[in-house]
Amino acid sequence: MMENTSDQVPLKDQRAYYDNYWRTHKLGLIPDEVTRLAEIFHAVALILPNFKTREIRICDLGCGRGWISAELSKFGTVTAVDLSPQAIQSASERWPQVDFQSTDILTWRPDDSFDLVVTSEVIEHVPDHKLFADTVRHLLRNGGYLILTTPNGKVKRAWDAINGGSQIIENWLKPAELRQLFSSFEILRHKVFILDFSYVGIFRITSAPKLLRLINLAGIGKVYDLIRDWLRLGLYQILVARFEK
């Protein structure tokens, strides 16, 4: 797994960082967040039929400013947790239908279990991936589902070259590492998405506008995307999995 020297940051410093981060973070959605939400909704649509007509219990693990939590509340009762009291306070005021709680997600062990755990762009910002996976296993009931999105560690170097910024902890997982971490789950879906995000390194070729235009004119755009997915060259990855205790 990818390591970062910042992974030893004390919890109080992580909390202070994210309180400031969410205090100054703009509330409007950016395009890649909209794309991630669409992928999450597609995964939810695949899972919902398994619950017949009953309302499902959902946990948004590492909810940040709560925008995904609010959308998930359309499908069931939502408990959303985050390390930052600032984020939780703002989210609670904006979306009272969600049960927002401030806690350390790596040590949170509630008595209740959930039908579905959704966690989007969180695991790469925690200091211990294994403990994070243990938390997910504790939260899920027998036969429960996980929907997880996270950046693709395979393209981190290209992303750093164009973005430069990072959060206090950045431990990106490659697709193979993510699958290994959740190998005790039945993996139902694992793909990368947002394929055209960089013109650095190999992406100068795979995302070159002229090449993409020629591919689309030839009518093989979908095939080309499947190849890039197979090579794991997307910015984000989504994992959908079922857990049996």
Low-confidence ranges of the chain (pLDDT < 70): 1-7, 26-28, 53, 158-165, 194-233
Residue in the structure block whose two tokens are 């997915």: 229
Domain count, the chain: 1
14 within a domain of the structure (yes/no) = yes
The pTM (predicted TM-score) of the whole model is 0.83
Q: What is the CATH number of the domain that holds 98?
A: 3.40.50.150
pLDDT value, residue 1: 41
- The conformation of residue 174, written as its DSSP 8-state character, comes to P
pLDDT at 230: 43
d(C-alpha 68, C-alpha 74), whole Å: 11
Which residue range(s) make up the domain with 61? 5-197+233-243
Tokens 């020629």 -> residue: 214
DSSP secondary structure code for residue 144 in this structure: E
CB 132 within 8 A of CB 178: no
In a domain, 211, yes or no: no
Tell me what pLDDT residue 222 has.
56
**Count of other CB atoms within 10 angstroms of residue 152:** 24
